[in-house]
C-alpha cells in the first residue's frame, strides 16, 4: 500500500467535448426531496440571454447563499428583496445561518412563492435577476454576492463499483462492497505522547463506543483517539434549515433507509470507516470528528463551509495561546460537487474557506469523487488552483485497486494530485448496524446453542467491513502525510509559515519514496 503521485503538477484543463452531465452523481427522487435538492440539467433550464449554457450540478432549489455584506446593509438588502419580489418570490427569512460566531461569509435566505405567481427555483430566480439587471435596479456587484447552494455528495463507492449493490442490468465490476468482515490483526498500539498531531475528519461522525477506538468530547481534554465537538453540533442543529434530520449530535444511529425495507442507510458508518483507516495507519494521531454529512451521503455547502471556518478559528485561537482551542494539523474531506460554471471555476465561498486553512499552514486532503469522470470535483479540484506563497498544499486523491491500477469508479484528471488504495479496504464500522437482509440459508446447529447460516450481508456486529471509494483513499493519503510530518519531529509549530513548510517538506519526502 502506497501513495502514487501524478507525474505533473495539478492543473485545470478545459475539455470542450465533455458531456455536460458528466460527474453529476445519480440520486433518487426521494433523496433529492429529503434535502430540497434539484438537478440542474443544461437542456432543461432557463438561462440568461448571451450567457454560456451551464453544466450539470445539484443544488437546493429554495435556498441561496448571500454574502453577509448584502444582508447587513439595509439599502443593499432592500434592493435585493425588491428585485426578488418582482419575480413573484420573496425572501421568507433573513435569519442568520452562521454556524460559527464571526464567520462572516454568507446567509441562507429561504425562497418562497408569492401565491401562484412563480415556482420556487433558485436557478431560475438568478437568471431572471440577471435578465432584468441594470445599474438602476440591481447592480452586478450585488448579483455577484448571490449564488446557488450546492448539495455535496460523499465519495463512497457507487452501485456496481464496490458498494455491494449490483448496477442496473446486473453484473458487478467489484466483488467486494460494504459487507461485514472480521479483523484478524489487532489494532496497533498507541504511544504515549505529549502533543499529538491532529486530523480533522468532516463526515458522518463516529459511534460513541467501538472496540477499535475511544471517544471523548473536546471539553474533556482526554487523550482519546477520537475527539468530538458537541458544542459545534448544537450550532449546526440550531441553524438547520432543512426537512432532513438536523446534525445536532456527533453521532446518530443506527439509521436505515426511509423505506419499508429497513436497509442500512447508504452512508451510515462512512465517517467511522474513514476514522478506522487512520487508526490502522497512524495510531498516534488524534482524530477531530465533525459531523456535517447526513447518512444518505449528502452535505449542505454552507454547513461544510461553516465547519471549515470553525476548524480555522480553532487553529488561530490555539496559536494565540487559547488553551481551550483545538489545534488541527490536517483536514480530510470526502464530499464534493461539480460546479455549474462551464469553465469549471466555482465562484462560491467554499474556496475562501479552503484558502483560509491553507494560508494557516493546514493542508487539506480531499477525495476526487466516484463518478468515473475527469470533470473537476470540488473542493478536491482546488488542488489545481494557484496557491499563494507560504500556503499549505491542497491534495486531491483518486482511488486505486489493490493491484495499484486506478479503480474504475474513481474520477481522474490533470487536477488530481495523487492516488491511494480505495477499493476493497477493511476498516471499522458501527457494531449496531443491522439491516433487513437475511442469510441465504439458515438452520439450527446440531451441537451448539446457535444457528448455522450463510454470510449475513448486513449484520455488522463484528465492528468491521469491506468498502470502496475515493472517500477512503483520502484518509489513507492523509495518514501517509501525517506520518511523514511526525517523522520530522515537528509536532509543534508557532505560525502559519512553519506549518506550511512542514507540510511541503513532508510531501516532498513522500514523493521521493
**How sure is the predictor about 137, in pLDDT bands with cuts at 50, 70 and 90?**
low
Asked whether the beta carbons of 397 and 377 are under 8 A apart, the reply is no
Contact residues for 149 (Cβ-Cβ < 8 A; gap 6+) = 59, 60, 63, 64, 65, 108, 122, 300, 301, 302
Whether 450 is covered by a domain: the verdict is no
Residues 331-388: tens digit of each pLDDT: 999 999 999 998 888 877 999 999 999 999 999 999 999 999 999 999 999 999 998 8
Mean pLDDT of 301-316: 95
Indicate if 118 and 161 belong to the same structural domain: no
Catalytic residue chosen out of the listed positions 266, 282, 358, 471: 471
Does 270 participate in catalysis according to the annotation? yes
Q: Which of 153, 183, 208 is the last residue of a domain?
A: 153
Indicate if 108 and 216 belong to the same structural domain: no
Distance CA 2, CA 510 (A): 9
Indicate if 207 and 83 belong to the same structural domain: no
Catalytic residue chosen out of the listed positions 150, 239, 267, 270: 270
Distance CA 473, CA 3 (A): 9
- How big is the CA angle at 237 (ends 232 and 241), to the nearest 5 degrees? 130
pTM of the model as a whole: 0.92
Whether 191 is covered by a domain: the verdict is no
The more confidently predicted of residues 243 and 96 is 243
Residues 421-452: tens digit of each pLDDT: 999 999 999 999 998 888 888 888 888 888 88
pLDDT for res 108? 61
- Taking alpha carbons only, the member of 412, 407, 408 closest to residue 377 is 412
Whether 494 is covered by a domain: the verdict is yes
Indicate if 251 and 390 belong to the same structural domain: yes
Residue 500 has pLDDT above 90, yes or no: yes
Residue 171 has pLDDT above 80, yes or no: no
* Domain region containing 61: 29-153
Whether 173 is covered by a domain: the verdict is no
Indicate if 403 and 466 belong to the same structural domain: yes
Whether 23 is covered by a domain: the verdict is no
Contact residues for 52 (Cβ-Cβ < 8 A; gap 6+) = 342
Q: Is the peptide bond before 475 cis (omega within 30 degrees of 0)?
A: no
Indicate if 132 and 209 belong to the same structural domain: no
Indicate if 264 and 296 belong to the same structural domain: yes
The residues pairing with 399 across neighbouring beta strands, listed in sequence order, are: 420
Residues 288-303: tens digit of each pLDDT: 999 999 999 999 999 9
Indicate if 236 and 264 belong to the same structural domain: yes
Mean pLDDT of 488-509: 94
Distance CA 154, CA 147 (A): 22
Whether 445 is covered by a domain: the verdict is no
Q: Is the dihedral of CA 306, 57, 16, 146 positive or negative?
A: negative
pLDDT for res 148? 92
pLDDT for res 447? 86
Whether 235 is covered by a domain: the verdict is yes
Domain containing 244 — which CATH number? 3.40.50.200
Indicate if 117 and 247 belong to the same structural domain: no
Q: Which of 153, 188, 207 is the last residue of a domain?
A: 153
Whether 24 is covered by a domain: the verdict is no
Catalytic residue chosen out of the listed positions 203, 329, 374, 459: 203
Query: How large a percentage of the chain has pLDDT more than 90?
Result: 60
Indicate if 158 and 125 belong to the same structural domain: no
Q: Is the dihedral of CA 129, 352, 271, 101 positive or negative?
A: negative
Indicate if 268 and 417 belong to the same structural domain: yes
Asked whether the beta carbons of 158 and 177 are under 8 A apart, the reply is no
3-state class (DSSP) for residue 14: coil
DSSP letters spanning 347-408: -STHHHHHHHHHHTT--EEEE--SSS--S--BTGGGGGS---TTPPPEEEEEEE-TTSSBPT
Indicate if 245 and 368 belong to the same structural domain: yes
Residues 397-423: tens digit of each pLDDT: 999 999 999 999 999 999 999 999 999
Does 203 participate in catalysis according to the annotation? yes
**290 Ramachandran zone, left/alpha/beta (phi>0; psi -120 to 50):** beta
Contact residues for 420 (Cβ-Cβ < 8 A; gap 6+) = 1, 2, 3, 4, 397, 399, 400, 473, 474, 476, 477, 480
Number of independent structural domains in the chain: 2
User: What strands, in cross-sheet order, belong to the sheet with 4-5?
Assistant: 4-5, 418-421, 394-400, 364-367, 330-333, 198-203, 286-291, 226-228, 215-217
For the chain, the average pLDDT equals 87
Amino acid at each position: 500500500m502506497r501513495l502514487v503521485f501524478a507525474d505533473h503538477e495539478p492543473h485545470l484543463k478545459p475539455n470542450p467535448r465533455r458531456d455536460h452531465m458528466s460527474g453529476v452523481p445519480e440520486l433518487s427522487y426521494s433523496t433529492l426531496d429529503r434535502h430540497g435538492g434539484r438537478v440542474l440539467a443544461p437542456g432543461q433550464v432557463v438561462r440568461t440571454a448571451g450567457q454560456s449554457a451551464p453544466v450539470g450540478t445539484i443544488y437546493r432549489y429554495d435556498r441561496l447563499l448571500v454574502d453577509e455584506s448584502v444582508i447587513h446593509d439595509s439599502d443593499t438588502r432592500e434592493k435585493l428583496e425588491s428585485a426578488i419580489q418582482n419575480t413573484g418570490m420573496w425572501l421568507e427569512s433573513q435569519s442568520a445561518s452562521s454556524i460559527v460566531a464571526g464567520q462572516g461569509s454568507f446567509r441562507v435566505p429561504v425562497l418562497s412563492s408569492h401565491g401562484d405567481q412563480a415556482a420556487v427555483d433558485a436557478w431560475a430566480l438568478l437568471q431572471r435577476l440577471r435578465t432584468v439587471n441594470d445599474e438602476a435596479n440591481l447592480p452586478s456587484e450585488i448579483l455577484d454576492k448571490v449564488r446557488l447552494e450546492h448539495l455535496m455528495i460523499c465519495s463512497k463507492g457507487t452501485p456496481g463499483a464496490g458498494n455491494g449493490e449490483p448496477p442496473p442490468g446486473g453484473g458487478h465490476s467489484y466483488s467486494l462492497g460494504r459487507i461485514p468482515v472480521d479483523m484478524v490483526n489487532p489494532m496497533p498500539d498507541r504511544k504515549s505522547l505529549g502533543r499529538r498531531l491532529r486530523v480533522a475528519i468532516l463526515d458522518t461522525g463516529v459511534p460513541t463506543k467501538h472496540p477499535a477506538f475511544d471517544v471523548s468530547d473536546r471539553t474533556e481534554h482526554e487523550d482519546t483517539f477520537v475527539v468530538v465537538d458537541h458544542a459545534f453540533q448544537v450550532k449546526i442543529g440550531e441553524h438547520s434549515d432543512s426537512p432532513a434530520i438536523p446534525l445536532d449530535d456527533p453521532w446518530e444511529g443506527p439509521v436505515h433507509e426511509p423505506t419499508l425495507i429497513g436497509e442500512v442507510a447508504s452512508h451510515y458508518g462512512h465517517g467511522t470507516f474513514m476514522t478506522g483507516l487512520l487508526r490502522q495507519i497512524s495510531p498516534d494521531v488524534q482524530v477531530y470528528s465533525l459531523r456535517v454529512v447526513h447518512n444518505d451521503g449528502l452535505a449542505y455547502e454552507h454547513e461544510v463551509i461553516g465547519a471549515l471556518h470553525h476548524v480555522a478559528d480553532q487553529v488561530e485561537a490555539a496559536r494565540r495561546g487559547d488553551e481551550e482551542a483545538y489545534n488541527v494539523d490536517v483536514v480530510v474531506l470526502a464530499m464534493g460537487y461539480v460546479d455549474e460554471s462551464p469553465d469549471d471555476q466555482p465562484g462560491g465561498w467554499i474556496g475562501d474557506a479552503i484558502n483560509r486553512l491553507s494560508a494557516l499552514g493546514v493542508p487539506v486532503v480531499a477525495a476526487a469523487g466516484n463518478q468515473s469522470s475527469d470533470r473537476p470535483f470540488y473542493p478536491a479540484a482546488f488542488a489545481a488552483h494557484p496557491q499563494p506563497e507560504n500556503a499549505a498544499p491542497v491534495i486531491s486523491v483518486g482511488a486505486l485497486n489493490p493491484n495499484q491500477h486506478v479503480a474504475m469508479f474513481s474520477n481522474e484528471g490533470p487536477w488530481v494530485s495523487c492516488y491511494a488504495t480505495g477499493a476493497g479496504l477493511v476498516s471499522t464500522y458501527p457494531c449496531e448496524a443491522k439491516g433487513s437482509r437475511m442469510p441465504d440459508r439458515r438452520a439450527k446447529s446440531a451441537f451448539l446453542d446457535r444457528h448455522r447460516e450463510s454470510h449475513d450481508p448486513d449484520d455488522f456486529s463484528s465492528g468491521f467491513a469491506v468498502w470502496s471509494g475515493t472517500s477512503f483513499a483520502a484518509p489513507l493519503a492523509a495518514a501517509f502525510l501525517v506520518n511523514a510530518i511526525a517523522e520530522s519531529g515537528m509536532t509543534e509549530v508557532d505560525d502559519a509559515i512553519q506549518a506550511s513548510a512542514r507540510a511541503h517538506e513532508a510531501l516532498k519526502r513522500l514523493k521521493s519514496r
